[in-house]
Structure 1
Amino acid sequence: MSTHDFRALHERLRRETARSTADGRRGALRHVTPERVVAAAAEVRLGHTVSLAAPIETVPGADDPEPAVHRMTGPAPDELGADGLHFATDRFAMNVHGDTNSHLDALCHVVFDGELYGAVPAGDGAGALSVDLVEDGIVGRGVLLDIPRLRGVPWLQPGDHVTADELTAAEAAQGVRVGPGDMLFVRVGHRLRRTELGPWNAATRRAGLHPTTMGFLAERKVAVLGGDGNNDTAPSAVEGIAFPVHALAVQALGIHLLDYLQFEDLVPVCAQAGRWSFLCAVAPLRLPGATGSPVNPTAVL
Structure 2
Amino acid sequence: MSSLASGSSPAVARAEFDALFERLRTWGRWADAGRGAFGRVGAGQVRRAVELVRSGTVVAMGLPWNTVCGPDNRKPALHYFSDLGDVEPPEPATHKDFIGADYHGKGVSHLDALSHVAYRGRLYDGGEAGRLVGAAGARFGDVAALGPLVTRGVLLDLPAVQGTDWLEPGQAVHAADLLAAEAAHGVRIGEGDALLVRTGRFRRRRRLGAWDADEAGAGLHVHAVPLLAERGIALLGADGDNDVRPSPVEGVHSPVHALTVAAMGVPLLDNLDLEALAAACADAGRYAFLCVVAPLDVPGGTGSPVNPVAVL
TM score, norm. by length of structure 2: 0.92
* Residues 256/78 of structure 1: CA separation in 2 closer, same or farther (3 Å cut): closer
> Shift in Å at residue 22 of structure 1?
4.0
Residue 27 of structure 2: SS of its match in structure 1?
helix
Aligned residue number for residue 11 of structure 1: 22
State the partner residue of 2:32.
23
Q: Does 1:115 align with 2:127?
A: no
**1:48 matched residue in structure 2:** 57
| Aligned partner of 2:286 among 269, 272, 275 | 275
- Partner in structure 2 of residue 208 of structure 1: 219
Q: Secondary structure at the match of 2:20?
A: helix
Tell whether 2:132 aligns with 1:130: no
Are 2:67 and 1:58 aligned? yes
- Give the CA deviation at 1:212: 1.4
- Is 1:98 matched up with 2:105? yes
One-letter identity of the residue aligned with 2:241: N
Q: Which stretch has the larger CA shift, 254-263 or 60-69? A: 60-69
**2:186 matches 1:175:** yes
| Alpha-carbon offset, residue 93 of structure 1 | 1.2
**Distance (Å, rounded) in 2 between the aligned partners of 1:19 and 1:131:** 19
1:196 deviation in Å?
A: 1.1
Deviation at 1:20, TM superposition (A): 4.2
Pairwise mapping of residues 133-282 of structure 1 onto structure 2 (< 5 A)?
133-135=145-147, 137-282=148-293
* Alpha-carbon distance between aligned partners in 2 of 1:77 and 1:198, rounded to the nearest angstrom: 39
Aligned counterparts of 1:217 and 1:34: Cα–Cα separation in 2: 22
Amino acid at match of 2:144: D
Taking the aligned partners of 2:99 and 2:290, their CA distance within structure 1 comes to 30
Query: Partner of 2:160: helix, strand, or coil?
Result: helix
> Does 20-29 or 189-198 show the bigger shift?
20-29
Instruction: State the Cα deviation string for residues 7-26 of structure 1 (Å, max 9, x = none).
Output: 11001111xx2364343232
Matches within 5 A, 1:54-93: 54-77=63-86, 84-93=91-100
Three-state SS of the structure 2 residue aligned to 1:44 is coil
Query: 2: distance between equivalents of 1:247 and 1:2?
Result: 15
Name the residue aligned to 2:5: none
Q: Describe the superposition over 1:21-54 as per-residue Cα deviations: whole angstroms up to 9, x where unpaired.
A: 3432321001111111111111100011000111
- Cα–Cα, structure 1 residues 70 and 19, in superposed 2: closer, same or farther, change >3 Å? closer
Identity %: 48
CA shift in 2, pair 1:84/1:21, >3 Å = closer
Distance 1:296 1:237 in 2: 30
Say which SS state the counterpart of residue 227 (structure 2) adopts.
helix
Distance 1:88 1:25 in 2: 38
Structure 2 gap ranges (5+)? 1-11
User: Matched residue of 2:205: which SS?
Assistant: helix
Amino acid paired to 1:276: Y
User: What SS does structure 2 have at the residue aligned with 1:30?
Assistant: helix
Q: 1:56 corresponds to which letter in structure 2?
A: W
| Alpha-carbon distance in 2 for matches of 1:19, 1:98 | 30
Unaligned runs of 5+ in 1: none
